[in-house]
Amino acid sequence: MKRGNLNNFSTSGSSSSSPSSMDKGKMWECEMEEPGIDDELFGVLGYKVKSSDMAEVAHKIQQIEVAMGNAAIDGYSQFPAAMDDTFHYNPSDLSSWLEGMLSGLNPLPEFDSSFDSFLESATGGLAVDDLDFGSDLVAIPGKAVFANIQFHQPSPENRNQHQPPSKKAKTSPSMGDFISLVESSPAPRSILIDSQENGIRLVHTLMACAEAVQQENFKLAEALVKNVGFLAVSQAGAMRKVATYFAEALARRIYRLYPVNHHPQDLAFTDMLQMHFYETCPYLKFAHFTANQAILEAFAGKKHVHVIDFSMKQGMQWPALLQALALRQGGPPTFRLTGIGPPSPEDTDYLQEVGFRLAQFAKAINVQFEYRGFVANSLADLDSSLLDIREDETIAVNSIFELHQLLANPGAIDKVLRIIREMKPDILTVVEQEANHNSNFFLDRFTEALHYYSTLFDSLETCDGGGGADEAISRKNKMISEVYLGQQILNVVACEGVDRVERHESLTQWRNRFNSAGFEPVHLGSNVYKQAIMLLAVFDGDGYSVDENDGCLMLGWQARPLIATSAWTMSDGYGERWNRRKYVQRRHAPMSES
């Protein structure tokens, strides 16, 4: 019976195994990373770094992201690491180079002018605008990412010129104008010359840079991305943060420093980030409430229910559903939960831990509970026959921000939709970002993402932060949420191929997929809509909008929809239990033969 099941918990005490965490016994082989390819790439670029170091490097880059976000906040740094005065500058050692950048990102007063001259000397006195991409790789990364710090120090040639950047051609800047802007203007001495103008110019510069990247004109792109840095610091709040992330993403793309994010530690890190995001603003909560409402309604009157969660993470979605089921008229059903997630970092087994916690909770509220965790690198590796679907169960499949990742692998989404159909769910709840960040045309993707994440960051500014009375916790939550979103930005803009997993698509696109794959929509109903409005009215600020879109619900900020919840069932009536029973019997026959 146990066909390699992991993490089996049940409160009924029936078929439980003791949690044998050491027996990882993965069901499916991990994709093996191609050894050494990263090493080669970096070797070519002159970096001595091993791909095994990348996790640490990634972590440090994340620190930079946060620190850059803080650079203009006076004396405000929450990252204790690497903020020492010693400056290491050995360009062939990527890791310590990053350390150096972090140390250099101290708040303004501590900025050492000698640093800049050190930099100059290290690069042989190359001026900002005179760098030939590809020739002096050593110097480029330092300057590129330091763009907003150099801002405070005029470059040597222009130290004596004080004129503010020229204000020509704001509305339709030509490439030439930008280049000359970069070449001639000194770093302005005052920060806030004309914030709004700079804001407009900032967006234009970003777009111009993206266009340059699209056209593979990397020299121009590089120059532009530095300029973004200058302009970004003159902005406040969301605009600055968004610009900084997009600039970094462009820089990575230009310098081929692609972020790598698929180690278990990275995924666990992202999960942690997501938890803070959950606390800070209403998006994930909305996703959970709306999906749960649809599931609760689908479970009405049913005695045995089974939820298969593709987005298990920390299981934040389920306590509320369990509680509602526990207190419903007629008493709770028996509840099975199958949680699916990626492998945990060494020495941890989060799937098991989550299951255990939920089992304890269920016991406390008197709900008969069974749990299984399945580890899978990709949903496409699932085998529905191993999920032990029982005949009399009402099945809900739940996916929050997971399906779009499958689009990185050709054929994967279709396979997964087939697998879902094999489970014969009574309801499938899907929440996805409402945007098209999957265009093959880079510039389109960039533009879409810029608008989307600008809106999202805007909403973060006014967020309560989820810290209750504790200001510091709220601030921290917000910062971490920004890092969380920043990771997505990096992925959308700087990654390609299988690494680019943040392939968001719009509701319309998803609808087409589901319809073609044999699903039909389940209208979410006015109850879900009203609940959503009511819950947003409590605590969450002004500016959020809930829209009903042909049976689906969308949550947006300032009338721009940002996430969409939809519910589906099988379109050929197989969702009906009695139909399914027949199908299941038929299905069992071939299995026993093999």
CB 142 within 8 A of CB 157: no
Retrieve residue 388's tokens. Answer: 């032990």
CB 333 within 8 A of CB 304: yes
Closer residue to another protein in complex, CB, 317/488: 317
Closer residue to another protein in complex, CB, 83/365: 365
- The CB-of-469 to another protein minimum distance in angstroms stands at 6
CB 436 within 8 A of CB 504: yes
Please state, in angstroms and rounded to a whole number, the distance separating the CA atoms of residues 429 and 508: 16
- The CB-of-332 to another protein minimum distance in angstroms stands at 11
First to last CA, the chain: 16
Q: What is the CA radius of gyration of the chain?
A: 26
Closer residue to another protein in complex, CB, 211/309: 309
- What is 260-328 written as a DSSP string? ---SHHHHHHHHHHHHHHHHHSHHHHHHHHHHHHHHHHHTTT-SEEEEEETT-TT-TTHHHHHHHHHTS
- The CB-of-360 to another protein minimum distance in angstroms stands at 17
CB 226 within 8 A of CB 143: yes
Handedness of CA 228, 230, 231, 234 (dihedral sign): positive
Handedness of CA 50, 51, 56, 59 (dihedral sign): positive
Closer residue to another protein in complex, CB, 192/327: 327
Closer residue to another protein in complex, CB, 124/330: 330
- The CB-of-291 to another protein minimum distance in angstroms stands at 11
Please state, in angstroms and rounded to a whole number, the distance separating the CA atoms of residues 343 and 519: 30
CB 209 within 8 A of CB 232: no
- The CB-of-365 to another protein minimum distance in angstroms stands at 10
- The CB-of-279 to another protein minimum distance in angstroms stands at 6
CB environment 395-426: b (16+ within 10 A), e (fewer): bbbbbbbbbbbbbbbeebbebbbebbbbbbbb
Closer residue to another protein in complex, CB, 175/533: 533
Q: Reduced to 3 states, what is the DSSP secondary structure of residue 89?
A: coil
CB 461 within 8 A of CB 242: no
- The CB-of-364 to another protein minimum distance in angstroms stands at 11
Half-sphere exposure of 375 toward its Cβ, with a 13 Å CA cutoff? Answer: 24
Give the C-alpha distances (Å, rounded to integers) separating 139 from 103, 118, 144, 230: 17, 11, 9, 18
User: 302 CB contacts (<8 Å, ≥6 apart)?
Assistant: 333, 394
- The CB-of-471 to another protein minimum distance in angstroms stands at 11
- The CB-of-289 to another protein minimum distance in angstroms stands at 5
Closer residue to another protein in complex, CB, 111/529: 529
Please state, in angstroms and rounded to a whole number, the distance separating the CA atoms of residues 433 and 286: 12
Closer residue to another protein in complex, CB, 38/279: 279
Binding site for another protein (CB under 8 A): 278-279, 285, 289, 292-293, 296, 319-320, 323-324, 327-329, 464, 466, 468-469, 526-527, 530-531, 533-542
Closer residue to another protein in complex, CB, 279/381: 279
User: 157 CB contacts (<8 Å, ≥6 apart)?
Assistant: 127
- The CB-of-588 to another protein minimum distance in angstroms stands at 36
The residues that bridge with 341 in the sheet, in sequence order, are: 375
- The CB-of-327 to another protein minimum distance in angstroms stands at 5
Q: Reduced to 3 states, what is the DSSP secondary structure of residue 405?
A: helix
Closer residue to another protein in complex, CB, 22/538: 538
- The CB-of-329 to another protein minimum distance in angstroms stands at 8
